[in-house]
Structure 1
Amino acid sequence: MSATDARPATGRTASTRPEPRWTHVDDLYADGAWTRSTAAARLPLVDPATGQEWGSVPDCSADDVDAALSAADRAFRTGPWPRTTPSQRAALLLRIADEVEARAADTALTNTLENGSPISETRGAAANAAGILRHVAGLASWLEDEDVRPFPAGGAETVVRRDPVGPCVLIAPWNFPINLMVVKLAPALLAGCTVVMKPAPGTSLSIRFVVEACEAAGVPPGVVNLVTGGGEVGDRLVRHPLTAKVAFTGSTPVGRRIAAACGELLRPVTLELGGKSSAIVLPDADLEQMSAALIRTCLRNTGQTCYISTRILAPSERYEEVVDMVTRTVEAAPQGDPFDERTVFGPMASRAQYEVVRDHLDSAHAEGARATVGGRPADTERGWFIEPTVFADVTPGMRIAREEVFGPVVSVLRYDDIDEAVALANDTSFGLGGVVFSADREAAQAVAERMDTGSVGVNFFGSNHNAPFGGRHDSGLGVEYGIEGLSQYVTFKSIHRRTG
């Protein structure tokens, strides 16, 4: 089935949609209980495949934010959580992992209704989140092992302690609302911190399954708290006097504002922001192998993934061959109802994102890019669908080659030699992901070493829970995953003592 064949209306209406566990709620989670919000304002949740509102959450008030952070602060200062051992906290993380997995089906259904991610994508969210929790639990020894360092001149030594930083504000985006929250939650909890979570407005219900899992696992009151709301709520959380640290995943413009606030307040912050990554196709690349990895590497989640390589850099001598392969691969991937098991490309997550992508398509056409497939909004009766698009004859100065699109759009640029390919890959204000395709792994490794970015894959791209993931330049500050990600939630203390 071609993308064009798969593009008619979804056939799903408000009356035929799956029924989620929650729809319209009026509460936040603070101090171990669901509490009615004092806010009058509400935020709608809209199914991107139909454009129909199906749920709503409170746009939490200043009093709600105070209640959540006060609970987190009390639990940190006077509660048992920071005073338990890392091994004890790790055991609880393992119980949370089991409880998250037990809610996999409900989580996937709600997530797909919220942001339109294909069910084949969201069905794995709970298992991946559980994997993160279990891996982080295995890092407890890093916090427990004695770290004693001698003075170089002798006669004394220093005991290095890794203390929890305090109440943390965790803000996650709408594209992967479960995993991009859990990758913050797991290390914060293991370190002994308490947290207040704020999901993106449009994906504010699926995260309740994680809160429910924490409660079922026995997390003490006040350790995990949840508020919902828009940018004003996020700003209150970031600037609140009880906040000790902020972790944010989202757009670079919002990240800059958070960084400025945290800099003013001398507050530690981790930022995972946007990207404009490149896939360098070396002259010897196996294009069939590349085709098999293309969608996940360059267009995952309907192009709504921060690290994907949406700029494909092809050697001049194989340029048309690469364009043909990319076009055929994208054209063959079905677009449609995200609840259809066959769907690869769903809708944009919101009308606002749909308009952003439309604007980028118009810009690409106006600047002379050639659409080999797609290149326009999909012809559907409802929902926010953009045709999966491949642009050829793209030059480095075009807007489509420089700005993050966050939609089902890839551009193919040409290069004449490896030095030019590396220069093109590095000619961006971002530095998050990247990939090199080649039949020669050593040659690919050598090119990867030259790319100015936080992560690079050879013939595939994936996130390793055991290795740091983070961006350079406009793609962020700090890292997530691995020991390095755990270290973002501790503050170091040195205790000096004589040895004689």
Structure 2
Amino acid sequence: MESYEALLASITPSTGQTRTILDPATGQKVGDSPVHGTEDLERAITAASAAQPAWAALGHEARSAALLRAADAIDGSAEALARLLSREQGKPLNGPNARFEVGACSSWLRATATTPLDPEVVVDDGETHAEIHYRPIGIVGAIGPWNWPMMITMWQIAPALRMGNAVVVKPSEYTPLSVLALAAVVNRELPEGLLTVVCGGREVGARLTEHPAIGKIMFTGSTATGKAIIKSSAATVKRLTLELGGNDAGIVLPDADPQAIAEGLFWGAFINTGQTCAALKRLYVHEDIYDAVCDALATVAAATPMGVGLDEANVLGPLQNKQQFDIVARLVDAARDSGARILLGGDPDPGQPGYFYPTTLVADIDNDNPLVAEEQFGPALPIIRYGTVDEAVTMANGLNVGLGASVWSADPAEARKVAARIEAGTVWINSHGGVHPMIPFGGAKESGYGLEFGVEGLKSLGVPQVING
């Protein structure tokens, strides 16, 4: 097993400009990240252009074999990767956090490497035989976020590589070390130049999205940045997969058992301390069981430990950065000032190091309150009372985003009827936010477009070619 120290040393630059990365839980130094510019990006694209044709020529079987070896390499460095991720991002080692995320990287890579994608026969009537094949795009630009930096990067690079592309990755400036480390481990099994991480700012990101050599951009992040990418990529007609902002609604029907669903509701909302695109961010509960659901949620939340990620007892951590801490604090303060009832939390300790915001539940809040209408992306959940299902569906559909949603009920058939009325890319029944490597995932409305995962995800990383005759 590779040590954390050795892994960190392997990605620490010996020359060039660097930036110190601090632990959001303690303020202590984690390591030094390189600071790349557009010249570094050009070098990465040149190397990718040189490496990609031979990689594509290997074919699916040989590429998959290399990716399976890379998955094994991730497992061999799993604990070192998890410790680095915990220190840089802030998430605890245990629970659905750092060790979970690293494990997801290797399992997702294996699933992607072994998913078959055979030519699809669309017509074969004795006179015409037509098939759809998927050819490599060339070079894919992958721009990832800071909340799940390793896992979402893997969601981008695994299908891109499997389909015969080279990849240039631009990680978030908040979590570059995690992505550098993951790529360093994966690159032990890949040809040189095929996968490169460029750690730069907005200038690098802007150049990546407009560069004529890049055939596709995969982006996970805010809707505002996604719109900017659409504009900057238009001149070269790039293919895009955009997983953008969400403000997921959950609807609890009146027949639900508050005690039975409380833990699922909690983790749907507070996984990764609420810093998840498809987390439950506004909860609509029928008036008949409203108080019971509030009480059950508060019981689970109060018993869930938050603290420094390297402490094995903790399962919730800090906000990753001060900007996000300030957003959560502003929205909770606005809710309090409006007369909403704070069931739990809402009172960060100003003397505590790190960006810790306590687990917060807010009841008796209006649907147009900023904490409901804006994406908080943190550990604060507004709980809205409703009287009829029609009212709940109208409120759930009232925003311009639609990444995910959920319906909670003792009657799955009734829940599915309600789910069909919700405008979201995925609607879960009696759970929220779970993803699977074979189940397509993507947003509706301004939460983006394009599908990831499974066969559909592979297709999105290829150029469809019809062979007719």
TM-score class normalised by the smaller sequence: over 0.9
Q: Which amino acid aligns with 1:60?
A: H
- Could you say which residue in structure 1 is the equivalent of 2:400? 429
SS in 2 for 1:258: helix
- Would the alpha carbon gap of residues 23 and 46 (structure 1) be closer, same or farther in structure 2, given more than 3 Å must change? farther
Q: Secondary structure at the match of 2:265?
A: helix
The answer to whether structure 1 residue 496 and structure 2 residue 468 are counterparts is: yes
2:314 is matched with: 343
How many Å apart are 1:388 and its aligned residue?
1.0
Equivalents in 2 of 1:222, 1:374: separation in Å?
A: 48
Number of corresponding residues: 463
Task: Check the 8 A contact 2:325/2:355 in 1, yes or no.
Answer: yes
CA distance in structure 2 between the partners assigned to 1:422 and 1:445 by the alignment? 13
Residue 382 of structure 1: how far off its partner (Å)? 1.1
| CA distance in 2 between partners of 1:80 and 1:239 (Å) | 25
- Among 413, 430, 436, the alignment partner of 1:442 is 413
Q: Which residue of 1 aligns with 2:36?
A: 60
Query: Which of 173, 191, 198 in structure 2 is aligned with 1:227?
Result: 198
Instruction: Report if the CA contact (8 A) 1:104-1:125 is conserved.
Output: no
User: Does residue 197 of structure 1 match 2:164?
Assistant: no
Write the letter of the residue equivalent to 2:36.
Answer: C
Partner Cα separation in structure 2 for residue 400 and residue 23 of structure 1 = 42
1:115 to 71, 78, 89: 89
User: What per-residue deviation string (whole Å, max 9, x for no partner) do you get for residues 172-226 of structure 1?
Assistant: 1111111100011111011100101121112111223322332322x11221111
Give the drift of 1:19. Answer: 5.7
For residue 380 of structure 2, what is the amino acid of its counterpart? Answer: V
Distance, in Å, in 2 between the alignment partners of 1:115 and 1:210 is 14
1:86 aligns with 2:72: no
Partners of 1:194 and 1:465 in 2: how far apart?
A: 21
Cα contact 2:38–2:203 (8 A) shared by 1: no
Question: Structure 1's 290 and 23: CA in aligned 2 closer, same or farther, altered over 3 A?
Answer: farther
Inter-CA distance 151–54: structure 2 relative to 1 (3 Å threshold): closer
Q: For residue 248 of structure 1, report the CA deviation from its aligned partner.
A: 0.7
User: Is residue 159 of structure 2 the alignment partner of residue 187 of structure 1?
Assistant: yes
Task: Verify the 8 A CA contact 1:43 1:229 in the aligned structure 2.
Answer: no
Match of 2:272 in 1: 301
> Which residue of 407, 411, 427 maps to 2:382?
411
Cα distance in 2, alignment partners of residues 196 and 489 from structure 1 = 14
Displacement after TM superposition at 1:381 (Å): 2.8
Decide which moves more: 374-383 or 101-110.
374-383
Equivalents in 2 of 1:416, 1:322: separation in Å? 15
Residue 147 of structure 1 is matched in structure 2 by 120
What is the identity, as a one-letter code, of the residue corresponding to 1:109?
R
* Contact 1:283/1:315 (8 A) holds in 2: yes
Q: Distance in 2 between matches of 1:393 and 1:69?
A: 53
Pair 1:22 & 2:21 matched? no
Q: From 468, 474, 484, give the equivalent of 2:440.
A: 468
Question: Aligned pair in 2 of structure 1 residues 98, 25: CA closer, same or farther (>3 Å)?
Answer: closer
Q: What does residue 133 of structure 1 align with? A: 109
Distance (Å, rounded) in 1 between the aligned partners of 2:36 and 2:11: 12
The answer as to whether partners of 1:252 and 1:273 remain within 8 angstroms in 2 is: yes
Counterpart Cα distance in 1 of 2:304 and 2:120:
53
Deviation digits for residues 29-77 of structure 1 (CA, Å, limit 9, x no counterpart): xxxxxxx77x54x33311111123332212211110000011111222x
Tell me what 1:215 maps to.
187
List gaps (5 residues or longer) in structure 1. Answer: 1-17, 28-35
CA distance change for structure 1 residues 24 and 80 in 2, over 3 Å: closer, same or farther?
closer
- On the 8 A contact 1:361/1:376 being kept in 2, the answer is no
Q: How does 1:16-55 map to 2 (within 5 A)?
A: 21-22=7-8, 27=13, 40=17, 42-55=18-31
Q: Note the alpha carbon deviations across 1:67-119, whole angstroms, 9 max, x for none.
A: 0011111222xx41111111111111111111111111011100011111111
C-alpha distance after superposition, 1:394-443 (max 9, x if no partner):
11111111111111000000111111111111111111112211111111
Question: Which residue is equivalent to 1:73?
Answer: 49
Secondary structure of the 1:302 match is: helix
Question: Could you say if the C-alpha distance between residues 214 and 24 of structure 1 is closer, same or farther in structure 2, counting changes exceeding 3 Å?
Answer: closer
Mark the runs of 5 or more structure 2 residues left unpaired by the alignment.
none
Whole-angstrom CA distance in 2 between matches of 1:368 and 1:255 = 35
Measure the CA separation in 2 of the matches of 1:80 and 1:285: 56
The equivalent residue for 1:161 is 133
1:6 corresponding residue in structure 2: none
Q: Could you tell me whether the CA contact under 8 Å between 2:342 and 2:360 is conserved in 1?
A: yes
1:174 to 146, 154, 158: 146
Q: Hey, what's the Cα distance between the residues in 1 that align with 2:283 and 2:200? A: 37
Contact 2:22 2:29 in 1 (8 A): yes
C-alpha distance in 2 between matches for 1:282 and 1:150: 46
Q: Verify the 8 A CA contact 2:266 2:297 in the aligned structure 1.
A: no
Identity %: 35
Does the 8 Å CA contact 2:135/2:462 hold for their aligned counterparts? yes
TM-score (ref. length: structure 2): 0.94
